[in-house]
Amino acid sequence: MNYFSHNPLNRFSEMRPDEAHMQQLWQMQETRVLVVHESLSLLQQHDLGRQAALLSRPQADQLASAAMVQVYLGSENGVPYFALGLEGVQDTLPTLLGEAYALADLRTTAHELPLPDSALLAYARGMVHWNLRHRFCANCGTLTRSTHAGHVRECTNGNCNLHHFPRTDTAIIVLIAEGDACLLGRQAVWPSGMYATIAGFLEPGETLEQAVAREAREETGVALAEISYHSSQPWPFPSSIMVGFHAVAASRNLLVYNDELEDARWFTRDEIAAGLRDGSLRLPPVISISYRLIRDWYDAAAGYNLEALTGY
């Protein structure tokens, strides 16, 4: 499974409209609270490394004055989990909670965390981010209020009354292969030597397969002969779902003429191995579905093992 896919909670989405029940869950002794401060996630240092900070209710109550939104995430083994979205208390958090607690960017720390923790933090981050960026109704501009335990925002203008739901932006990502080579591209802003799979957002009126074919053609000029689904990954930076594919190109003819990619080229497995050994090639981070699409293709040939080269 991909990073951010191991959420252990039962979301109990059918219970969210029951405000009295949600309030009971919030009051429970066992309740645990994840904290998102603007775009950062609260982690706790333990003897064996960092984990998601799971605050007790008394700890969470100390943060109440800075809480902009509260979201019920779900429950596991009778323990309710909530997310609190905070603003403006970055400097006071260690004083309030202790030095073991620190805010961190989930994107650069997820690989250190237990898999369920990274998934919980991704879910919490996505929900808080959506709430804090939808404080006003997109239809009439009036303030919205949080309902359904943080999963719906309702317009407070009685003549509009629109309900807004968390949005997830669908992006496709594809490893394109032809024979013993795969097609990787790079953006000018990426670190030197880094190449990754082709990706882009789904457009209205488009199937996932059409988006895969369009992005391949737009970014590299390559026509695809076969497209097959691989896996998907929640990507809460800020609100995407990455839908991953493997594809086979009709030919290796490239035409890189758009603004998105600085370069795209075919890499054989041996070229990837050589590039990783001498440092001229860097692959995307282990937490990304891009890395996993590359790894699964690379390892599919006998005698090739990407982990032996990358260490992850």
Interacting residue ranges for Zn ion, rule: CB under 5 A: 137, 139-140, 142, 155, 157, 160, 162
Pairwise CA distance, residues 241 & 222, whole Å: 24
DSSP string for 58-70? HHHHTTGGGEEEE
Q: Minimum Å distance from CB 22 to Zn ion?
A: 24
Q: Minimum Å distance from CB 132 to Zn ion?
A: 18
The distance of Cα 8 from the centroid of its chain, to the nearest Å, equals 16
Among residues 82, 110, 93, 111, the alpha carbon closest in space to that of 16 is found at: 82
| Amino acid in the structure at residue 257 | Y
Between residues 139 and 187, which has the closer beta carbon with respect to Zn ion?
139
Question: In the chain, how long is the greatest CA-to-CA distance?
Answer: 66
Between residues 51 and 142, which has the closer beta carbon with respect to Zn ion?
142
Pull the structure tokens for residue 155: 């317009």
Q: Minimum Å distance from CB 161 to Zn ion?
A: 7
Q: Minimum Å distance from CB 134 to Zn ion?
A: 11
Between residues 145 and 277, which has the closer beta carbon with respect to Zn ion?
145
Q: Minimum Å distance from CB 146 to Zn ion?
A: 15
Are the beta carbons of 67 and 2 closer than 8 angstroms?
no
| Helix H or strand E segment including 208 | helix 208-220
Between residues 155 and 276, which has the closer beta carbon with respect to Zn ion?
155
102 backbone φψ class: left, alpha, beta (φ>0; ψ -120 to 50): beta
Are the beta carbons of 139 and 159 closer than 8 angstroms?
no
Between residues 115 and 132, which has the closer beta carbon with respect to Zn ion?
132
Neighbours of 103 (CB within 10 A): 19
Between residues 160 and 274, which has the closer beta carbon with respect to Zn ion?
160
Neighbours of 60 (CB within 10 A): 20
Q: Minimum Å distance from CB 145 to Zn ion?
A: 11
Between residues 152 and 160, which has the closer beta carbon with respect to Zn ion?
160
Q: Minimum Å distance from CB 176 to Zn ion?
A: 43
